[in-house]
Structure 1
Amino acid sequence: MPTWLLPENIADVLPSEARKIEELRRLMLDTFRTYGYELVMPPLLEYVDSLLAGAGQDTDLRTFKLVDSMSGRLLGLRADMTTQVARIDAHLLNRDTVTRLCYAGSVLHTQPSGLHATREPLQIGAEIYGHAGLEADAEIQELALASLALAGFEQPRLDLSHVGVLRAILAEDAAAKRDEQLLYTLLRSKDVPGLIDATADYNEQTRAALLALPNLYGDIDVLARAKDVLPALPGIARALAELAALAGSALGRAQIAIDLADLRGYQYESGAMFALYVPGLPNAVARGGRYDHVGEAFGRARPATGFSLDLRELARLLPTAERKHSIRAPWGNAPELREKIAELRKAGEVVIQSMPGHDNVQDEFECDRVLVLEQGNWILKNLG
């Protein structure tokens, strides 16, 4: 096997792509800061007990695990940073007030999350802790939309769902509650024949509600249909009202879609969930939602909601970055030359000194000016 060969779905990021990713990262983190979010940097490696606390089975299956040679304990390479940030809020910061945190860093997956997806996403996200009201959900949704706008996507599709609908239905039937994991899997894949078989012994109201969920998708009018076909349970009424409010807050900035069977993240989410889609990508480019119980695993349950996206996947959809205009300068240590180069760089110019005997070849820079010595002074001249 060639020594340069990388594992499947793992790839180097070359200069022009790396610059797109890095510029997006800086723009988004700076935008998060204008909303009052504080940056944290969780470790890449943690004990599995902590890393997977409060996370669902999906996260467990995506996590690389290894034995720590120092302690003998099982370690995990993070597959998601959400639980890490929840640990920081609950255990390290331990504040009583509303806390806004953001993060950016690589995560690793045992399997790619979708077609052509990398197993090393560059995850960026933001979380709010300490406020149980819908205001926090609305702010996170707004911040996710603002993040996509920074990348040039002004009208993404916003898919909304709510775990409260399914949980309210299951609470009315002990047999259905026992099969929660199976039902979650069938609904997520919209497997109606499987649902028909699995719900055969449930009470009539529960069965009718579960069989209705896969067809409750479409525009915002789905919420009215859901009120008509689902049982009049307080949990369902509350969930539908929250979805209506979140859809209303995004009107004009996104195309709204409702899908009451889209339950990705169901295992640790506790309220409204959303996914954002953009042209050119079959998978959701960003996902978010409420997860109030994750902090409980770290000794302090806190209301929590947040979102994250993969910068590498998003950057792939953007056009190639334009080459940066730059200045070519000769190699030399003359004080006047060094002073002129330093002055230009301080002013924000890119100055590339040519190594003796070599031409400059760069993907990122286009030398359109040259620094030359004339009558004892270093001056700039246009090329071409």
Structure 2
Amino acid sequence: MPISETWLLPDGVADVLPEQAQVIESLRRKALDFLASRGYQLVYTPFIEYIESLSSLSESNQDLDLATFKVIDQLSGRLLGVRADMTPQVARIDAHVHPVEGVARYCYAGTVLHTKPQGFNTTRAPLQLGAELFGSDSIDADVELIDVMINLLQTAGHSDGIHLDLGHVGLFRSLVKQAGLSKAIERQLSDLYQRKALPELAEFTQTLPFGQDFYTLGRFASDLDALQANLSAEVLNNEAFKLAFDAVKSTQAAIQARWPELHIGIDVVELRSYHYHTGLMYAVYAPNRAAPLAQGGRYDGIGEHFGRARPATGFSCDLYALTAGQVQSAKVLVAPKGIDADLLNAIASARNEGFSVVQLLGNDDLSSVSSASHQLVNANGEWTIKQI
């Protein structure tokens, strides 16, 4: 390979330069401190594991399976996977490595790797930060995670104009079961809902059992009152449907009480990661952004793969996406070389004031520090800081 090409990176990955790295690292620290203040314990997970361990989600989420890099372990000959999502790893910790009784709360931050970008203009190596709550099937747990998610986004500087979307896979799933539909029909319906293709949905549902109800679910997906008024009594009396419907209404009311100014939208046929989620789903969007700032939902039973099925809910976000376009230049103070006690004391004092102090080396001068913003100078025997 020519030398001119050796510095090139693969598509979808990039270096993070000092001005942005400082912003990202500052947010990572603040976010983890905030999560710790809410009782979420920090865990670190390995970047690579046996694929069987990571498959606790990928078996039910083909998208995650396709996003996972797979390599052969030269020590054991077994197939390894590079983590594409940290949730399965935290589920393994809860189920097998650190099996506490009652509710467990964990948080994490680390790089994950995707075989392909998961959205327009996104990286293949996001810096994923998230929180997971295990051991509670109460709506209160979902409300807590949503509240934590919104607070965390405020910590990241995202508060103006944000929008919360709520959904629940249980409405569609219970109706599919009630109608006795095949997996192929279920997939076709899911695709129509995702594309918001109402004319196609109207035609497709004409010959289905509960066809009018399937159409109504798509037609009034964002209006719970209209949905309730137009669904058949048979569907509304279905116990699983009622539980899902009430969960959405209760969650909306609880979040609105905590965040009166927050705009909350409902979409009961938002079926992203449909086979992965088992209940409520939630995502926060910001103006002029197509992808969510953070998203999550309920995924009960995830630990069954490790021998301990537990209720679970959680969310995650990409710190790179949260800080996109933000830069922060450090206050870099250049000090002359020397070991005079007064000089060293002045350097220590400047560092305590928040300066990054660079002491010159050898025959270097001020021009050798390209990021310099201030200079330490001696005026009449006193060391003072001068802005450049």
Query: Given the two structures, how large is their TM-score scaled by the length of structure 2?
Result: 0.89
Contact 2:19 2:330 in 1 (8 A): no
Contact 2:284 2:293 in 1 (8 A): yes
**Shift in Å, 1:74:** 0.9
Number of the residue aligned with 1:39? 42
Number of the residue aligned with 1:283? 291
Number of the residue aligned with 2:227? 226
Alpha-carbon distance in structure 2 between the residues aligned to 1:120 and 1:280: 23
Number of the residue aligned with 2:18? 15
Contact 2:343 2:383 in 1 (8 A): no
- Shift of the 339–361 alpha-carbon distance from structure 1 to 2, 3 Å rule, reads closer
Alpha-carbon distance in structure 1 between the residues aligned to 2:24 and 2:14: 14
Corresponding residue pairs, total: 373
Number of the residue aligned with 1:320? 327
Determine helix, strand or coil for the equivalent of 1:25: helix
Number of the residue aligned with 1:382? 386
Number of the residue aligned with 1:168? 174
Instruction: Kindly provide the CA deviation profile for residues 287-316 of structure 1, in whole angstroms up to 9, marking residues without a partner as x.
Output: 110111111111101111010001101100
Among residues 31, 37, 53, which one is paired with 2:56 in the alignment?
53
Determine helix, strand or coil for the equivalent of 1:65: strand
Among residues 146, 149, 163, which one is paired with 1:144 in the alignment?
149
Does 1:62 pair with 2:63?
Answer: no
- Shift of the 333–47 alpha-carbon distance from structure 1 to 2, 3 Å rule, reads same
Contact 1:28 1:150 in 2 (8 A): yes
User: What amino acid sits opposite 2:191 in the alignment?
Assistant: T
* Matching of residues 68-217 of structure 1 within 5 Å: 68-154=73-159, 155-176=161-182, 179-192=185-198, 195=201, 199=205, 201-203=207-209, 205=210, 207-217=211-221
Alpha-carbon distance in structure 1 between the residues aligned to 2:192 and 2:102: 39
**Shift in Å, 1:75:** 0.8
Determine helix, strand or coil for the equivalent of 2:133: strand
**Shift in Å, 1:28:** 0.7
**Shift in Å, 1:148:** 1.0
Number of the residue aligned with 2:351? 345
The more displaced of 273-282 and 96-105 is: 273-282
Alpha-carbon distance in structure 2 between the residues aligned to 1:80 and 1:262: 21
Determine helix, strand or coil for the equivalent of 2:378: strand
Determine helix, strand or coil for the equivalent of 1:28: helix
**Shift in Å, 1:113:** 1.4
Instruction: Kindly provide the CA deviation profile for residues 113-161 of structure 1, in whole angstroms up to 9, marking residues without a partner as x.
Output: 1111111111000011111101110010001101111122224110110
Does 1:332 pair with 2:335?
Answer: no
Determine helix, strand or coil for the equivalent of 1:332: coil
Contact 2:135 2:312 in 1 (8 A): yes
Contact 1:165 1:239 in 2 (8 A): yes
Determine helix, strand or coil for the equivalent of 1:72: coil
Gaps in structure 2 of 5+ consecutive residues: none
- Shift of the 126–381 alpha-carbon distance from structure 1 to 2, 3 Å rule, reads closer
Instruction: Kindly provide the CA deviation profile for residues 168-188 of structure 1, in whole angstroms up to 9, marking residues without a partner as x.
Output: 101112234564344333322
Gaps in structure 1 of 5+ consecutive residues: none
Contact 1:327 1:350 in 2 (8 A): yes
- Shift of the 285–116 alpha-carbon distance from structure 1 to 2, 3 Å rule, reads same
Instruction: Kindly provide the CA deviation profile for residues 14-70 of structure 1, in whole angstroms up to 9, marking residues without a partner as x.
Output: 111111111111111111011011000111101111112133111001111111111
User: What amino acid sits opposite 1:37 in the alignment?
Assistant: Y
User: What amino acid sits opposite 2:343 in the alignment?
Assistant: L
Query: Given the two structures, how large is their TM-score scaled by the length of structure 1?
Result: 0.90
Among residues 7, 24, 29, which one is paired with 2:27 in the alignment?
24
Determine helix, strand or coil for the equivalent of 2:283: strand
Determine helix, strand or coil for the equivalent of 2:75: coil
**Shift in Å, 1:343:** 4.1
Alpha-carbon distance in structure 1 between the residues aligned to 2:308 and 2:185: 29
Alpha-carbon distance in structure 1 between the residues aligned to 2:300 and 2:255: 23
Contact 2:114 2:124 in 1 (8 A): yes
What is the aligned-residue identity percentage?
A: 39
**Shift in Å, 1:111:** 1.4
**Shift in Å, 1:327:** 2.7
Number of the residue aligned with 1:256? 264
Does 1:298 pair with 2:306?
Answer: yes
Instruction: Kindly provide the CA deviation profile for residues 227-252 of structure 1, in whole angstroms up to 9, marking residues without a partner as x.
Output: 12332122222212211122223322
- Shift of the 351–254 alpha-carbon distance from structure 1 to 2, 3 Å rule, reads same
